[in-house]
Amino acid sequence: MYQEINVFDYAATLLDQIDSGIFLSTEHQNRMNTMTIGWGGITVVWGKPIFMALVRDCRATYELLEKQNAFTISVPLQADLKEALAYCGRYSLRDGDKFNRCKLTPVPGRKVAAPIVGEAELHYECQVIYKQTLIESHIPAYIKQRYYTQTTANHTMYFGEIVDQYLYHKDQ
C-alpha cells in the first residue's frame, strides 16, 4: 500500500537515518542492485527537489547508474534492516544478488526504472539530471586522509530529481 507524502515531510528523519545507512537501488537491463549509502541528502537545486548521492566509481552500482540515470532511495523507519544494510554496504553485486541474499523484495519503481526495497517504509524515486565526479585535488587533505587512503577510486555525485516520494507498506 502506498501513502503519498510531501517531498520534505521526512527529510529530517532521512538525515537521522543516513548515519546508520539507507538503500540506494538501481537497475539496467534486468540487472538490479541495492547498496548502502551513508553520504547524501535532500536539497533544492534549480528549483527542484534533489537527492544528492555519492557513489564510488569502482562500485557495480556506479556502472548501472551510468547506464540507467535513475535510482531509488529506500529508508527503513521501523523495520529492523541493520543486517541487510551491513551486508549491502560490505558486499558487491559482483559477489551475488544482494536482494536474494538479504531476503529483500525488489518492488518496481512507480516513475523510474529502478526498484525500491519493499521492506523499508520511506521511498524517493530519482531521475539523474546532473552528475559531477569529485576533483580529488580539491578535496581537503584531512578528508583524503580519512576517506581516500586505501584506494584511488573516486566518487561521482549524482543529482537525482525526486520525481516521486511515498511511504510503502508491503503487507497492507
Phi, psi of 99, deg, nearest 5 = -60, -50
Averaged over 67-91, what is the pLDDT? Answer: 93
CATH 3.40.50.300 fits 2-167, yes or no: no
Q: Work out the burial of residue 20: count CB atoms within 10 Å of its CB; fewer than 13 is exposed, 13-18 middle, 19 or more buried.
A: middle
How many Å apart are CA 40 and CA 63, to the nearest integer? 19
Give the cell for residue 80. 529492523
Averaged over 15-36, what is the pLDDT? Answer: 94
Q: Work out the burial of residue 100: count CB atoms within 10 Å of its CB; fewer than 13 is exposed, 13-18 middle, 19 or more buried.
A: exposed
Query: Over the stretch 39-74, which tens digit does the pLDDT of each residue have?
Result: 999 999 999 999 999 998 888 899 999 999 999 999
Taking alpha carbons only, the member of 46, 37, 44, 45 closest to residue 14 is 37
pTM above 0.85, yes or no: yes
In this prediction, residue 79 has a pLDDT band, given cuts at 50, 70 and 90, of: confident
Can you give the pLDDT at residue 149?
76
Q: DSSP character for 111?
A: S
Q: What would you report as the CA-atom Rg of the chain, rounded to the nearest whole angstrom?
A: 15
Can you give the pLDDT at residue 152?
65
| AA identity, residue 124 | Y
All structural domains of the chain with their residue ranges: 2-167
Average pLDDT, the chain: 92
In this prediction, residue 125 has a pLDDT band, given cuts at 50, 70 and 90, of: very high
Bigger pLDDT: 141 or 70?
A: 70
**Run of H or E including 12:** helix 11-18
Taking alpha carbons only, the member of 141, 136, 131 closest to residue 152 is 136
How many Å apart are CA 139 and CA 28, to the nearest integer? 31
Helices of type H across 33-148: 60-68, 82-90, 98-101, 141-147
DSSP secondary structure, 31-57, as one string: EEEEEEE-SEEEEEETTEEEEEEEEET
